[in-house]
């Protein structure tokens, strides 16, 4: 029932290529860029949560590390943007590697608690180290430049994130059908059974945790340069929750679900912006209702429904 | 010395509030295996409702029980409308649902009761007195005494009453409890009502010191979750011990080390504990069945 991989990727390529031509103005282009940035992060997070079954309520922390590494190193120390981005990615990956073993030993709610704690600690450090980070007010970030070229316009950023999104989608689709990806899904099914089948489950979990942290950190750097300004809210608990929500609403263990989740939940606040306090209520209600009626998330639930319809017809 | 007593006292006071929040987490976790991320909003709603009633002329001694009752009803509604329909959902889905509930509650309170911090008068005056060289607010004594009485009442409820024992039986083994005639659906509903009431109690107790505001529930809820995890999820005495420990360590850090990192401390503490004791301080060791 699954469509061939090249079909989905081709469709994504066409949509990404045509989109700037049909969007009426830069406001929509801006929303599209934010959607794409979120989508990359959410795909990485889905590999961890949806495929491997390990929840993380603190991934915005890695977003914050990437963003602030880029901001601080380029603005205060004059580093080249690419080097700062790399430093952020190494920092996030290193931290993830350091905590992965003790954290991923935990199960269920204890894992939720530990990852939540990790994210909040990072966020509080960013708020408190005012001399370095500018504290709650945030700090401005210079343009991203590479080999003398500056990425500054919305158009330029659009093509950068579009390529990143396409690349991530391709990588993720390949990963989940590779032996390593099958191993991750086996861990989700039953960790003990996976171990019995000869999978080094600890190593597999650590690898995917580090991978998703690095991916998130890179997108943090991209966000910092794109917005030209960073505040600690980028790394706070709500952002972590927003990311997990995109994974769950779109569909656990569904790459295209992650795309849809990121697109919908990035658009939602724009749609609800005029409601003054009501947007929180509506957002909360949408979460509750979706989870009650489509607990697997949009894409998997709808795919199942289509399958059931086809069976009935046959 | 007097400094130490002062920090100790303020630590135990905030620890008592965390303990009440943690008990709410433990209750719901036991009845349903759900971590209720909206627990902090029950604390917030209790404080806000009491302040609202009091500001509209309801005497304090009536506003407090009224606020707790309103919050308990909110808790029952949450279970009926959001948790029960999602019955067999997995952990992540339920976490998202309770987060949705907390957003709805926070949004509604913001719309109907406003964004400003609301004051609530102390239960018996604001004149502090000294003991052992420390300055103590009368409200702190109210907090300690009420928490102590609540813990005693809960111990009696779970140890001596049929309803309490039914709740306990459900937490040990839901199917076995059903087999001996326990209405586990009613238990689940009651656990939400009781947890909401406990949260609201914490909220009205702490509001005279900190004020009540629509966004005060997040941190309190999070720290309650830390306290509950610290003690081992689902353990009642563990929740109380975890709450007190958290309050004391936090007050000592704020007093002797750095107050700007006070809010980070609970999370550092819980990470360290979980690194070495993956089931909390008093949690039972679990084995996974294949």
Select from A240, A250, A235, A228 the least CA-distant residue to A296: A250
When pLDDT is cut at 50, 70 and 90, the band that residue B284 belongs to is low
DSSP β-ladder status, B134-136 and B129-131: antiparallel
Q: Which residue of A has its CA nearest to B29?
A: A109
Residues with Cβ within 8 Å of residue B201, at least 6 apart in sequence: B20, B46, B68, B146, B150
Report which listed range, A7-16, A162-171, A292-301, B165-174, is most confident: A162-171
- As a whole number of Å, the end-to-end CA separation of chain B is 55
Nearest CB to A121; choose among B89, B97, B267: B267
Q: Give domain status of residue A248, yes or no.
A: no
When pLDDT is cut at 50, 70 and 90, the band that residue B234 belongs to is confident
Q: What is the pLDDT of residue A268?
A: 86
Q: Give domain status of residue A241, yes or no.
A: no
When pLDDT is cut at 50, 70 and 90, the band that residue B285 belongs to is low
pTM (2 d.p.): 0.88
Q: Which residues 223-252 of A are in CB contact (within 8 Å) with B?
A: 237, 241, 244-245, 248, 252
Q: Give domain status of residue A94, yes or no.
A: yes
Does residue B277 belong to the interface with chain A, where contact is any CB pair within 8 Å? Answer: no
Interface pTM (ipTM) of the complex?
Answer: 0.85
The whole-angstrom distance between A46's CA and the closest CA on chain B is 12
Nearest CB to A112; choose among B93, B95, B107: B95
Give the phi and the psi of residue A140 in degrees, each rounded to 5. -90, 155
> For residue range A66-99, what is the model confidence (pLDDT) as tens digits?
999 999 999 999 899 999 999 999 999 999 999 9
Select from B227, B226, B249, B247 the least CA-distant residue to B237: B227
- Contact status, residue B107 vs residue B48, Cβ threshold 8 Å: no
Q: How many domains does chain A have?
A: 1
Select from A37, A36, A16, A70 the least CA-distant residue to A216: A37
Q: What is the pLDDT of residue A32?
A: 94
- Contact status, residue B229 vs residue B21, Cβ threshold 8 Å: no
CA–CA dist B169, A43 (Å, integer): 41
Q: What is the CATH number of domain B2-276?
A: 1.10.3470
Look at residue A46 and tell me whether its pLDDT is greater than 70.
Answer: yes
What does the buried/exposed string (b/e) look like for B196-215 if buried means 16 or more CB atoms within 10 Å of the residue's CB? bbbbbbbbbbbbbbbbbbbe
The whole-angstrom distance between B100's CA and the closest CA on chain A is 4
- Residue B3 or B206, more confident: B206
> For residue range A158-192, what is the model confidence (pLDDT) as tens digits?
999 999 999 999 999 999 999 989 989 998 888 88
The whole-angstrom distance between A224's CA and the closest CA on chain B is 24
Give the phi and the psi of residue B118 in degrees, each rounded to 5. -100, 135
> For residue range A100-152, what is the model confidence (pLDDT) as tens digits?
888 888 887 888 888 999 999 999 999 999 888 988 898 999 888 887 788 87
Q: What is the pLDDT of residue B146?
A: 93
Q: Give domain status of residue A186, yes or no.
A: yes
Select from B96, B35, B42, B65 the least CA-distant residue to B220: B42
- Contact status, residue A82 vs residue A249, Cβ threshold 8 Å: no
Does residue B226 belong to the interface with chain A, where contact is any CB pair within 8 Å? Answer: yes
Domain extent for A78: 23-236
Look at residue B47 and tell me whether its pLDDT is greater than 90.
Answer: yes
Q: Which residue of A has its CA nearest to B232?
A: A110
Q: Give domain status of residue A56, yes or no.
A: yes
Residues with Cβ within 8 Å of residue A127, at least 6 apart in sequence: A133, A135, A136, A232
Chain A residue numbers with beta carbons less than 8 Å from the beta carbon of B44 are: none
Select from A219, A214, A64, A69 the least CA-distant residue to A141: A69
Nearest CB to B89; choose among A277, A279, A291: A291
Residues with Cβ within 8 Å of residue A118, at least 6 apart in sequence: A58, A61, A99, A103, B267, B271
Q: What is the mean pLDDT of chain A?
A: 89
- What mean pLDDT is predicted for residues A189-205? 88
Q: Is the dihedral of CA B123, B127, B129, B133 positive or negative?
A: positive
Q: Chain B interface, mutation test: which of A247, A288, A293, A294, most B Cβ atoms within 10 Å?
A: A288
> For residue range B155-208, what is the model confidence (pLDDT) as tens digits?
898 889 998 888 888 888 888 988 998 888 898 899 999 999 999 999 999 999
What are the distances in angstroms from CA A217 to CA A62, A86, B105? 5, 9, 32
Q: Which residue of B has its CA nearest to A121?
A: B264
- What mean pLDDT is predicted for residues A39-43? 96
Domain ranges of chain B: 2-276
- Contact status, residue B246 vs residue B32, Cβ threshold 8 Å: no
Q: SS3 string of chain A?
A: CCCCHHHHHHHHHHHHHHHHHHCCCHHHHHHHHHHHHHHHHHHHHHHHHHHCCCCCCCCHHHHHHHHHHHHHHHHCCCCCHHHHHHHHHHHHHHHHHHHHHHHHCCCHHHHHHHHHHHHHHHHHHHHHCHHHHCHHHCEECCCEEECCEEECCHHHHHHHHHHHHHHHHHHHHHHHCCHHHHHHHHHHHCHHHHHHCCCCHHHHHHHHHHHHHHHHHHHHHHHHHHHCEECHHHHCHHHHHHHHHHHHHHCCCCHHHHHHHHHHHHHHHHHHHHHCCHHHHHHHHHHHHHHHHCCCCHHHHHHHHHHHHHHHHC
Q: What is the pLDDT of residue B123?
A: 86
CA–CA dist B243, B223 (Å, integer): 8
- What mean pLDDT is predicted for residues A38-60? 93
Exposure of A274 by Cβ count < 10 A (0-12 exposed, 13-18 middle, 19+ buried)? exposed
Q: What is the pLDDT of residue A1?
A: 42
Nearest CB to A248; choose among B92, B233, B263: B92
When pLDDT is cut at 50, 70 and 90, the band that residue B87 belongs to is confident
Question: Which secondary structure element, helix H or strand E, spans residue B9, and what is its range?
Answer: helix B2-32
| Cα within 13 Å of Cα(A117), Cβ side | 27
Among the ranges given (A187-191, B115-119, B144-148, B283-287), the one the predictor scored with the smallest mean pLDDT: B283-287
DSSP string across B34-58: ---TTHHHHHHHHHHHHHHHHHTT-
The whole-angstrom distance between A207's CA and the closest CA on chain B is 19
Does residue A120 belong to the interface with chain B, where contact is any CB pair within 8 Å? Answer: yes
- Contact status, residue A25 vs residue A18, Cβ threshold 8 Å: no
> For residue range B243-262, what is the model confidence (pLDDT) as tens digits?
999 999 999 988 888 777 88
Nearest CB to B268; choose among A102, A121, A280: A121
- Contact status, residue B80 vs residue B55, Cβ threshold 8 Å: no
> For residue range A223-275, what is the model confidence (pLDDT) as tens digits?
999 999 999 999 988 899 889 989 988 998 899 999 999 999 999 888 877 77
Select from A259, A302, A268, A249 the least CA-distant residue to A16: A259
Q: Give domain status of residue A279, yes or no.
A: no
The whole-angstrom distance between B159's CA and the closest CA on chain A is 27
Q: What is the pLDDT of residue B4?
A: 87
- What mean pLDDT is predicted for residues B11-28? 92
Contact B96 A291 (CB under 8 A): yes
Look at residue A2 and tell me whether its pLDDT is greater than 60.
Answer: no
- What mean pLDDT is predicted for residues A198-214? 92
CA–CA dist A106, A101 (Å, integer): 9
**How many A/B residue pairs have CB atoms within 8 Å?**
144
Q: Give domain status of residue A297, yes or no.
A: no
DSSP β-ladder status, A139-140 and A229-230: antiparallel
Contact A110 B274 (CB under 8 A): yes
Q: Is the dihedral of CA B156, B159, B164, B168 positive or negative?
A: positive
- What mean pLDDT is predicted for residues B111-115? 88
Q: How many distinct helices (H) and strands (E) make up chain B? A: 11, 2
Question: Which secondary structure element, helix H or strand E, spans residue B136, and what is its range?
Answer: strand B134-136
Q: What is the pLDDT of residue A93?
A: 96
Give the phi and the psi of residue B135 in degrees, each rounded to 5. -95, 125
> For residue range A267-282, what is the model confidence (pLDDT) as tens digits?
988 887 777 667 788 8
- β-pair partners for A154: none
What are the distances in angstroms from CA B167 to CA B60, B189, B192, B225, B241? 32, 11, 12, 21, 21
Chain B residue numbers with beta carbons less than 8 Å from the beta carbon of A114 are: 270-271, 274
Q: What is the pLDDT of residue B115?
A: 85
A 10 A CB-CB count for A87 gives 19
- Residue A288 or A306, more confident: A288
Q: Which residues 247-276 of B are in CB contact (within 8 Å) with A?
A: 260-261, 263-264, 266-268, 270-271, 274-275
Q: Give domain status of residue A109, yes or no.
A: yes
């Amino acid at each position: 029932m699954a469509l061939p991989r090249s079909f989905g990727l081709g469709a994504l390529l066409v949509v990404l290529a045509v989109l700037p031509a049909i969007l009426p103005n830069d406001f929509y282009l801006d929303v599209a860029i934010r959607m794409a940035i979120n989508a990359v992060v959410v795909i990485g997070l889905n590999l961890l949560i949806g495929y491997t079954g390990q929840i993380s309520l603190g991934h915005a922390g890695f977003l914050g590390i990437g963003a602030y590494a880029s901001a601080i190193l380029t603005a205060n120390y004059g580093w080249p943007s690419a080097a700062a981005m790399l430093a952020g990615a190494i920092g996030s990956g290193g931290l993830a590697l350091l905590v992965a073993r003790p954290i991923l030993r935990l199960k269920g709610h204890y894992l939720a608690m530990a990852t939540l704690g990790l994210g909040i600690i990072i966020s509080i450090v960013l708020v408190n180290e005012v001399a370095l980070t500018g504290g709650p007010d945030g700090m401005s970030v210079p343009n991203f430049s590479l080999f003398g070229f500056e990425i500054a316009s919305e158009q330029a950023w659009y093509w950068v994130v579009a390529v990143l999104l396409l690349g991530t989608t391709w990588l993720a689709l390949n990963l989940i059908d590779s032996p390593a990806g099958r191993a991750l899904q086996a861990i989700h099914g039953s960790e003990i059974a996976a171990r019995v089948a000869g999978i080094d489950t600890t190593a597999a979990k650590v690898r995917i945790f580090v991978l998703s942290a690095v991916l998130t950190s890179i997108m943090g750097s991209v966000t910092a340069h794109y917005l030209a300004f960073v505040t600690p809210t980028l790394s706070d608990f709500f952002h972590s929750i927003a990311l997990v929500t995109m994974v769950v609403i779109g569909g656990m263990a569904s790459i295209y679900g992650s795309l849809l989740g990121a697109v919908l939940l990035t658009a939602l606040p724009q749609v609800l912006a005029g409601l003054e306090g009501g947007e929180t209520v509506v957002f909360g209600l949408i979460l509750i209702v979706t989870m009650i009626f489509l607990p697997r998330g949009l894409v998997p639930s709808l795919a199942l429904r289509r399958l059931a319809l086809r069976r009935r017809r046959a | 010395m007097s400094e130490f007593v002062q920090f100790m006292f303020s630590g135990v006071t905030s620890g008592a509030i965390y303990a009440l929040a943690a008990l709410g987490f433990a209750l719901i976790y036991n009845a349903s295996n759900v971590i209720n991320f909206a627990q902090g909003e029950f604390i917030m709603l209790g404080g806000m409702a009491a302040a609202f009633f009091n500001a509209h002329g309801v005497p304090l001694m009536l506003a407090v029980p009224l606020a707790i009752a309103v919050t308990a009803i909110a808790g029952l509604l949450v279970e009926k409308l959001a948790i029960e329909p999602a019955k067999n959902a997995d952990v992540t889905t339920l976490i998202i649902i309770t987060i949705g509930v907390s957003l709805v509650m926070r949004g509604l309170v913001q719309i109907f009761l406003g964004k400003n911090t609301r004051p609530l008068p102390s239960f018996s005056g604001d004149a502090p007195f000294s003991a052992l060289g420390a300055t103590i607010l009368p409200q702190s004594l109210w907090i300690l005494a009420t928490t102590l009485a609540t813990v005693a009442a809960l111990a009696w409820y779970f140890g001596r009453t049929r309803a309490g024992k039914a709740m306990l039986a459900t937490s040990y083994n839901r199917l076995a409890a059903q087999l001996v005639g326990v209405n586990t659906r009613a238990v689940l509903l009651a656990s939400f009502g009781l947890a909401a009431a406990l949260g609201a109690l914490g909220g009205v107790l702490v509001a005279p010191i900190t004020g009540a505001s629509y966004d005060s529930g997040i941190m309190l809820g999070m720290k309650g979750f830390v306290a509950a995890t610290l003690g081992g999820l689902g353990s009642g005495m563990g929740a109380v011990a975890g709450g007190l420990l958290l309050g004391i360590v936090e007050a000592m850090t704020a007093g002797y080390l750095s107050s700007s990192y006070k809010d980070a401390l609970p999370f550092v503490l819980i990470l360290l504990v979980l690194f070495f004791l993956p089931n909390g301080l008093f949690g039972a060791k679990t084995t996974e069945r294949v």
